[in-house]
Structure 1
Amino acid sequence: MLGVQSASGRVRGSSERQAAGSPITRAGGRRRAVAPVAPPGAAPSPLRRVSSLPGPNVPIDTTAGGGSAAVAAAPAPPPKAVAEAYKGQRAVVVGAGPAGSTAAMFLARRGFEVDVYERRPEPSQDAVDTGRAYIIVLIPRGQRALSELGVPLPTDGHSVSQGSVRHSRTGKVSVSREAGNVTFSRAGLAQFLIDEARARYPDRIRFHFGAPCLGVDLEGREASFGVEGADGESNGAAPAVSARYDLLIGADGTQSAVRAAMAAADPAFSVEIADSGREYVTYRGLRGAIEPPEFAAGGGATLHLWASDDAWTSFTAHSDPDGAYSGTLSLKTGGFECLKTPADYEALLRAKFVGIPEDWIAPIAAQAATQRPSPAGKRTKCSRLDAPSTILIGDAAHSVTPVFGQGANSALESCLVMDGVLDAAAGDAAAVPAAFTAARLEDAHALQEVDRLAYSFFRRRGIFDTDFLALLAHVLLGTVLSKIVPFLYGAKPALLQLGAGLPYSKILKAVRRDAAAAAVGLAALGVWLGTRLAARLAGAA
């Protein structure tokens, strides 16, 4: 469970001041007690598309440099007309990442007046965020939420994914083509959705940057935020502004302030957080002819994945809009402690990977040696996703490690689930939180379990690892059955449909079902073989 502490901190570069007419009152006079919480800080959720069961050397984090840029977009269907059942009610969204901005649009579409508070500067103005922008590949699961809103996705060659290239330890190169996926830097996607929200709902959505959440009074339905002063500092000594709400959305990442307030208010609410066990450093701005013939003509973004001789160590490179490449070097947590100098990094890159351009080695090492490694994601499991007039979405509710590329996609899907709950509640904001937990918690927990099972590939215990055997049995048995009886089993194993939108709970049930069936089959085979062997021995006697 998260610790609770008073929040204060330095906030720079706010690009937007408090909007006129927003539901904010200056702090002063008598106030309700507000639970102090730790300032939010979203952990990165680097992603990639999975088209088959990943091997143990699949890199799980990639980064891209640069902020957002104007991109061509395909025409999107107009947003569906919906009843504005919540007109006159106010929503506060904490966090302006992809989930927060998408949730804001769904809320505004239903009639809410929405204020979005983000502790960091706007992505386009945030040197730290744009310099460490994580690659997000939007697959159909995540795209559906934006399609429902009528938000067109970019169609330019820098955004549409061509596919991935795998570089083995023997130097073999294999190509996997993709269709329909759209690639963003994390900062680029966040800014894209902020811009869409402003353009679509200019009178209903207001953004406030450089405004960390300082506390939430769940009973009184009031949240407090720090604001920038003239010197660029936020005043952490006392809440600077307060915002009342009919519905509060916690979209503020793995270190969620809203979730911490829920934990402080209710001892029965529990949170389990598990680390990925990996760390990474980044590099940017390298050029070279590394595309295979299949992708040499261009026409889309590419992701290169280098395998090493151990499951935890990986290297990635992805194409940037300016034609350069950026990426990551990932090691098991603690692995960077023995790497002190550029020479140390050069030695590791040459020892672990085959096919990295030789003229990349020195600049990668020079950039890596100046950085502090960052954790490669966390797995967050909440006992529920709601509190009075409050819901959690995205990483605040169900963060996962990047191994299956589901973080941002599941977050946007949660926004779509929230919209369905809003529709069913028909204007009763107080009924939304419990209904959201009922609609989403099973799938959120199933996603956590599938993500946990995937880490058997990194442990590399083989047949002695029951998690590994469960996934292996599902994929092997499912592949066979999908060929023999596709009309009964389906076109492919459920785990290979993560991108298509099959509910996570159904995927987990399929994995467990096939693992159990395989275990029964092996047991029956063992009994049969034992019986035959006993009969032979008896005959020989």
Structure 2
Amino acid sequence: MQEIQRTERVTVVGAGLVGSLLSMYLARRGFQVEVLERRPDMRREAIGAGRSINLAISTRGLHALRQVGLEEEALSHAIPMRGRMIHSATGALAFQAYGKDESQHINSLSRAWLNKSLMTHAEATGRVRIQFKQRVQHLDAERGLLEVLDEESGAVREVRSPVVFGTDGAGSAVRRELVSRPGHVAEQEHLSHGYKELTIPAGPGGAFRMEKHALHIWPRGSYMLIALPNEDGSFTCTLFLPFQGPVSFASLDSPERVVTFFEEHFPDALALIPDLEHDFFHHPTGTMVTVKSAPWHVGGRTLLLGDAAHAIVPFFGQGMNCGFEDCVVLDECLGRHARWEEAFEDFFQLRKPNADAIADMAVENFVEMRDRTADPRFLQEKAVEKVLLNAFPGEFLSRYTLVSFSRVPYRLAYEVGAIAGGIVAELSEGLTRAEDVDLDRARALIHERLVPFVKEHSDGFRLEGSAGTGDGGLQRTGVRHR
């Protein structure tokens, strides 16, 4: 097996968020890193608007940035979002906090700013070289041989690399080469909904025209609109609609129909979007896909990370957070092993069940955001959940808290969420006010169902004080969960 030589040159395909951060981790370990990026340099050339969903960075992503000294810089450009602001069809507002108090929040952050910052910091290490407009056309994964097209000159060249990392997103060219091999698979499930980005501009003097510290949601059953705040006072809105059907992107085929649709379903948003017709017809309609692939590596020569290995839909705000956590875990694996193949197999075994778990939770959260956030029973259960989080700290744990405010493995968060959800549903039966929940019964259910599960998997949980980043006190211990 191929030994890890700390000064050898390695290749990263893709200079997006995960690829740029990964290159910093590799550079820190002494590697010379060549990054091949298909797109132009976004720091020097404008890249089409309307193609990405704003980031919601939380504990996992912040922890990954902290390891390379970039957490504070990122937070200085982020806006805390303390909960969901639900916009009813009548214009009434209802706020749903994300955590037990305001210390638990997620953060709205510009994808473009973060990507530019990561590329610049990667190059500043002196060990990372990013080449743009470089399209990987073919990869011999066993030999580390890439066929690369320079899209500016049209020249095709061969690049040899002892190790290749594929961080080239959901449509990964590296994954395409891997799944052509026997024993490699990639299941892709496209959501029947697409998305379109729209903009609510800032008010006079950069004023926010809606609540600044919230993720805004207009839930309407089979479709919804969301909005995240930006540093300049604007909001990036994303409309999620089915591709086909009576209410769909296909049905909104004229400016008049788009305006009428917003007048009927999102009147308060319409009043804030002056360029609705332009944005709707000039911004592309995005697609969303879940990718579950296996294995993620070929021996010790090629490895997939981030969306290239496990793309997820954006409804838990964890795509980037999960990809950044990949970098942390791979770095730990490289620290434990002397050979690439051992490190890659360890990484795959650690991350695969957790990546599958967050993929499933993201799809489930889409249904919750779209259908349930306006449902009175759902609201009652969320209120009861908050009561329990405050009444039984460290004993009652919710899925959202574990996913967003801890580094507990996603698979454990998924299983805890199922248990906790059952407890909340039972305690909510017949209640008219969350404050009247039977705490004695709650304690008994928690000690009967939840506490034993946490004890059984105690290697996955560790209590600490929060560090000002919404950690919520629960951290991953580094123990494997296969």
Residue type at the aligned position of 2:173: A
Match of 1:11 in 2: none
Q: 1:352 aligns with which of 256, 265, 270?
A: 265
Q: Do 2:139 and 2:146's aligned partners in 1 also have CA atoms closer than 8 Å?
A: yes
Q: 2:344 aligns with which of 427, 433, 436?
A: 433
Residue type at the aligned position of 2:402: Q
Q: Do 2:197 and 2:237's aligned partners in 1 also have CA atoms closer than 8 Å?
A: yes
Q: Secondary structure at the match of 1:190?
A: helix
Residue type at the aligned position of 1:144: H
Q: Relative to 1, partners in 2 of residues 1:100 and 1:286: Cα closer, same or farther, differing over 3 Å?
A: same
Q: Relative to 1, partners in 2 of residues 1:113 and 1:311: Cα closer, same or farther, differing over 3 Å?
A: same
Q: Secondary structure at the match of 1:351?
A: helix
* Structure 2 CA distance for aligned equivalents of residues 403 and 92 of structure 1: 31
How is 1:130-529 mapped onto 2 (pairs within 5 angstroms)? 132-154=51-73, 158-161=77-80, 163=82, 165-175=85-95, 176=97, 181-199=106-124, 201-202=125-126, 204-230=127-153, 234-235=154-155, 240-266=156-182, 268-284=183-199, 286-288=201-203, 291=208, 302=213, 305-308=216-219, 310-334=220-244, 335-356=248-269, 358=271, 360=272, 363-375=275-287, 377-388=288-299, 389-426=301-338, 428-457=339-368, 486=393, 490-500=395-405, 501-514=407-420
* 1:403 Cα offset (Å): 0.9
* Structure 2 CA distance for aligned equivalents of residues 363 and 105 of structure 1: 39
* 1:156 Cα offset (Å): 7.4
* 1:513 Cα offset (Å): 4.1
Matched, 1:98 2:9: no
Q: Do 1:311 and 1:457's aligned partners in 2 also have CA atoms closer than 8 Å?
A: no
* 1:368 Cα offset (Å): 0.9
Matched, 1:119 2:31: no
Q: Secondary structure at the match of 1:214?
A: strand
Q: Relative to 1, partners in 2 of residues 1:365 and 1:217: Cα closer, same or farther, differing over 3 Å?
A: same
Q: Secondary structure at the match of 1:507?
A: helix
Q: Deviations over 1:120-158 (max 9, x none)?
A: 111223423456453112111111111112224336765
Q: Stretches of 4+ moved more than 6 A in 1?
A: 471-481, 515-522
**Residues 321-330 or 143-152, more deviating:** 321-330
Identical-residue share of aligned pairs (%): 25
Q: Secondary structure at the match of 1:265?
A: coil
* 1:383 Cα offset (Å): 2.6
Q: Deviations over 1:345-390 (max 9, x none)?
A: 11000100142253x4552123213444222x21111132222222
Structure 2's unaligned 5+ residue stretches are 429-482
Q: Do 1:312 and 1:458's aligned partners in 2 also have CA atoms closer than 8 Å?
A: no
Bigger relative contact order, structure 1 or 2, given CA contacts below 8 A and separation 6+? 1
Q: Do 1:473 and 1:518's aligned partners in 2 also have CA atoms closer than 8 Å?
A: no
Q: Do 1:198 and 1:205's aligned partners in 2 also have CA atoms closer than 8 Å?
A: yes
Q: Relative to 1, partners in 2 of residues 1:212 and 1:474: Cα closer, same or farther, differing over 3 Å?
A: farther
Q: Do 1:108 and 1:205's aligned partners in 2 also have CA atoms closer than 8 Å?
A: yes
Q: Do 1:474 and 1:514's aligned partners in 2 also have CA atoms closer than 8 Å?
A: no
Structure 1's unaligned 5+ residue stretches are 1-84, 296-300, 463-468, 523-541
Q: Deviations over 1:191-242 (max 9, x none)?
A: 110011111x21x111011001111111212222111344xxx35xxxx122
Q: Relative to 1, partners in 2 of residues 1:285 and 1:403: Cα closer, same or farther, differing over 3 Å?
A: closer
When the two chains are superposed, the root-mean-square deviation of aligned CA atoms in Å is 3.4
Match of 1:88 in 2: 7
* 1:245 Cα offset (Å): 2.1
Q: Relative to 1, partners in 2 of residues 1:191 and 1:473: Cα closer, same or farther, differing over 3 Å?
A: same
Q: Secondary structure at the match of 2:328?
A: helix
Between the two proteins, the alignment pairs up a number of residues equal to 410
Q: Relative to 1, partners in 2 of residues 1:305 and 1:437: Cα closer, same or farther, differing over 3 Å?
A: same
Which has the larger Rg? 1
Residue type at the aligned position of 1:327: C
* 1:179 Cα offset (Å): 6.1
* Structure 2 CA distance for aligned equivalents of residues 221 and 473 of structure 1: 55
Residue type at the aligned position of 2:194: E
* Structure 2 CA distance for aligned equivalents of residues 475 and 197 of structure 1: 41
Residue type at the aligned position of 2:317: G
Q: Relative to 1, partners in 2 of residues 1:137 and 1:372: Cα closer, same or farther, differing over 3 Å?
A: closer
How is 1:15-34 mapped onto 2 (pairs within 5 angstroms)? none
Q: Relative to 1, partners in 2 of residues 1:460 and 1:191: Cα closer, same or farther, differing over 3 Å?
A: closer
